[in-house]
Chains A and B, each alone.
Chain A
Amino acid sequence: MSNHAAYILAAYLVAAAILGGLVIASLGARNRVRRELAARGLEKRR
């Protein structure tokens, strides 16, 4: 990929880290809140 490969790969890695990180953080936050709701009997345990 020519001599610009480092910039191209860095761009895709940065995007994957930011957007992938947001997906993981969002899923983690949802599971945490659901667990707290379940602990208070407001949500069925999954």
Chain B
Amino acid sequence: MVDLHFLANPARFRRFSQRVLPSLGFATALMLAVGFYMAFFVAPADYQQGDTVRIMFLHVPAAWLSMAGYALLAGLGASLLVWRHPLAALMARAAAPVGASFAAVCLLTGSLWGRPMWGTYWVWDARLTSMLLLFFLYLGHIALSRAYDSPERGDRASAILALVGVINLPIIKFSVDWWNTLHQPASITRLDAPAIHNSILVPLLWMAVSLLMLFVLLVLLRTETEIDRRRLENAEAAA
């Protein structure tokens, strides 16, 4: 197994990120281009949803990644509060806007799918409402991390919010089972086989991997910037 502990040092992380980013950027662009081609020209129209199923190639991965992003924030929050990990606070600052953006994509694409399929852009059902709450938790995290004069206090406060807010993740996941919702139940992440035909499942998973790569790319790029910004602040404080 690859030992990732060497990345715990911000300077080493920065060097690693600078080495990886150009090739990751190229691979992500290529994966996304193929993904869009599959989404528009390879995947067939669904027998019930028709062509609107193509929105799912964005909506579903965005939902997964916004939830995974918040789990990452909670992990980084724990890492900061328990072990005072030097990189955790910087990476959390970098990851929160990325997670918020994916949550916004999930909400807006879901809304644009809902209008032709459900006849409405929005309903206050448990899945949609808990997803909107996730978006607000991201915004709260971003605002809280910048709300104090001392960045360390902001980092601690936002880490606590990340840990408290993680309770929303199982609520999002199981909302369609616990409550009677307009949103359909899980069709891929089920204990038995996915309820989706391979002709649609393959493009969906391809787009999920492509968007995951974009997510990682953005987090690496923004973490590198946060490390440099902290160096700049330290230099200004020392001057």
B129 interface contact, C-beta 8 A: no
Whether B113 contacts A11 by the Cβ 8 Å rule is yes
B229 close to A (CB within 8 Å): yes
Residues from 17 to 46 in A contacting B, C-beta threshold 8 Å: 18-19, 22-23, 26-27, 29-30, 33-34, 36-37, 40, 42-43
Report yes or no: A30 in contact with B109, Cβ–Cβ below 8 A. Answer: no
**Does A11 lie within 8 Å of B221, measured CB to CB?**
no
Answer whether A2 and B58 are a contact pair too, CB < 8 Å, given A7-B116, A30-B224, A42-B235.
no
User: Contact between A40 and B51 (Cβ–Cβ < 8 Å)?
Assistant: no
A7 pairs with B115, CB closer than 8 A: yes
Distance in Å: Cβ of A44 to nearest Cβ of chain B: 12
Kindly state the separation between the CA atoms of A1 and B139 in the bound complex, as whole angstroms.
36
A43→B18 CA distance, assembly (Å): 13
B105's partner among A18, A23, A34 (CB-CB below 8 A) is: A18
Q: Are A22 and B218 in contact (CB under 8 A)?
A: yes
8 Å CB interface, B51-77 against A: 51-52, 54-55, 58-59, 62
Q: Is the contact region of chain B dominated by helix, strand, or loop, or is it mixed?
A: helix
Q: Within residues 185 to 239 of chain B, which ones have a CB less than 8 A from any CB in chain A?
A: 214, 218, 221-222, 224-225, 228-229, 231-232, 235
Q: Which among A8, A14, A19 is the interface contact of B214 at CB below 8 angstroms?
A: A19
Q: Cβ of B170 < 8 Å from any Cβ of A?
A: no
Binary flags per residue of A4-15, CB closer than 8 Å to B gives 1, else 0:
110110111011
User: Which size class do B's interface residues fall under?
Assistant: 20 to 34
Contact present for A15 and B62 (CB under 8 Å): yes
Given contacts A8-B52, A18-B105, A40-B235, contact A33 B225 (CB under 8 A): yes
- Contact residues in A for B113 (Cβ distance below 8 Å): 7, 11
| Chain B nearest Cβ from A19, distance in angstroms | 6
Interchain CA distance A25-B46 in the complex, whole Å: 36
Contact partner of B232 (CB less than 8 A), chosen from A7, A26, A27, A42, is A42
From A4, A5, A29, name the one whose CB has the most chain B CB atoms within 10 angstroms. A4
Q: Quick check: is B104 within 8 A (CB to CB) of the other chain? A: yes
Whether B51 and A33, one on each chain, are in contact in the complex, defined by CB atoms closer than 8 angstroms, is: no
B50 contact set on A, CB distance < 8 A: 2, 4
Can you identify 6 A-B contacts, CB atoms within 8 angstroms? A7-B52, A7-B55, A23-B218, A26-B221, A34-B228, A36-B232
The 8 closest A-B pairs by CB, nearest first: A11-B109, A11-B112, A30-B225, A33-B228, A11-B55, A1-B51, A7-B112, A4-B116
